[in-house]
Amino acid sequence: MSWKNTLILTLLICLLAGAQTATARDRRLERKVDAYMAPLLERDLISGSILIASRGEILLAKGYGLANREYEMPNTPDTAFRLGSVSKQFTAMGIFLLAQEGKLALEDKLSLYLPEYPRGDEITLHMLLNHTSGIPNYTGLEDYDTQLMLPLSIDEVIDFFKEAPLHFEPGGNWAYSNSGYVLLARVSEIVSGLPFAELLRERIFTPLGMTCSGVDVCTDIIPGRATGHVNQGDGVFQTPYRDMPFTSGAGALYSTVNDMFKWDRALYTDVLLNGEWRTKMFEPVMNEYANGWFVREEFGQPIVEHGGAINGFLTQINRFPEEELVIISLFNYETTFWRRVNHGLAAMALGEDYDPALRHKPLELDLELLNMYAGEYELMPGYIVKLSVEGNSLMVEAPEHEREAVEAQSETLFYLPGGAALMQVDFIDADTIRGVRIQQGANSFPCRRLE
């Protein structure tokens, strides 16, 4: 055999060995994720799709549970989920693309585009992008729950909140505000001359080949669209109707994990923004927030991430840029285990230690410890949560809820089966209990211990 043939054979063997190693690694990761999700699936506590990729290589792309329970349609990597606030990063990209082209400036005043908006001459687009404008979050305003069902235009949504007084002087503080991103969607329409949905499709989705992404409109035919679900303690239900364009730039989009992977890869290249503008996009302004993203540290390295929560859907994209690692989870279930699962998935992908999302068998804790937790905890005036010990179990009792035994996940974390919730005991120091936090869906309710 000639040296050339020997070299070619050696290269082929190396390539095959590398492919087998990658496949084996992918299978190990899939087995880990499957085992991690199994207790939640067995107890019907989660459903959705997950994608994990490293340096452009997809390690896992898989659906878990059902996308639609009425038709028993399974989740897949191509199931379309509402993104909720994960939509904000696309709104921000639309604004940055227009800024890169010189069609607007981030320091432009809102009044330049919406002259009638109260105090718009004090509020910049950059403030809206980073939640420092002081404009109140319209999801907290009176009548929001009825307004969200109406087919309102962006201008009508802006009319709903524009007269609400500012929470603080523009630029002087930070408070998460969906209102700001509704305004940004309208500004992008005024500057581009395109409806918000068309702008995103023309400038982002089509160039990236994101064929399964867009604004979620109830009358549109969206292949593989998932239905949102919620656990109300006595079963799983579909969530009530809402008109998605009402959330416009703040949370109106849908996508798939496969499409979101294309988005992640584009953020490492010049296909949308050049290097200078990409750097600017990920520069935090206040409270670790940078133009539709949180920029933080997790597992000792930088993470760029954002979550979304909207009517039966909880979503998350976690990007570890130093590793070019991305974990995308899109759940069509308001699962209490959302944050816990996302943390565990990241730990698996990074090779870090992690705890089970839910134990197959609860821990047995020392009675002395359980007795220390017994007492009354106030969630709000007149609403008291009582903890007591019966036999070897910690019991929880709350107004309008049956007394139930909780399942220990650790010495301080307990699962409440009847409410499909988690309860975390908070300490001031090693011996003094501050209270408990009850987590249900995306919400966390602090309860102060009463003396």
Domains by residue range for the chain, with CATH: 81-350 (3.40.710.10), 367-449 (2.40.128)
367's tokens: 């009675």
Q: Per DSSP, what are the bridge partners of residue 289?
A: 286, 294
Token readout for 236 is 């799983």
Q: Contact, 132 vs 174, CB < 8 A?
A: yes
Q: What are phi and psi of 110, to 5 degrees?
A: -55, -35
Contact between 214 and 201 (Cβ < 8 Å): yes
Q: How open is the CA angle 79-263-258, to the nearest 5 degrees?
A: 25
Instruction: Look at residue 16 in the predicted model and tell me its pLDDT.
Output: 54
Q: What is the pLDDT of residue 431?
A: 83
Residues 6+ apart with CB under 8 A from 192: 94, 98, 103, 199, 203
Residues in Cβ contact with 338 at an 8 Å cutoff, skipping those fewer than 6 apart: 307, 314, 316, 329, 331, 441, 442
Q: Record the tokens describing residue 54, joined without a space.
A: 């490293």
Residue 383 phi, psi (nearest 5): -110, 105
Under-70 pLDDT residues of the chain: 1-22, 24-25, 233
State the Cα–Cα distance between residues 84 and 290, nearest whole angstrom: 18
Q: What is the value of pTM for the model shown?
A: 0.92
| pLDDT of res. 19 | 47
Q: What 3-state DSSP class applies to 339?
A: helix
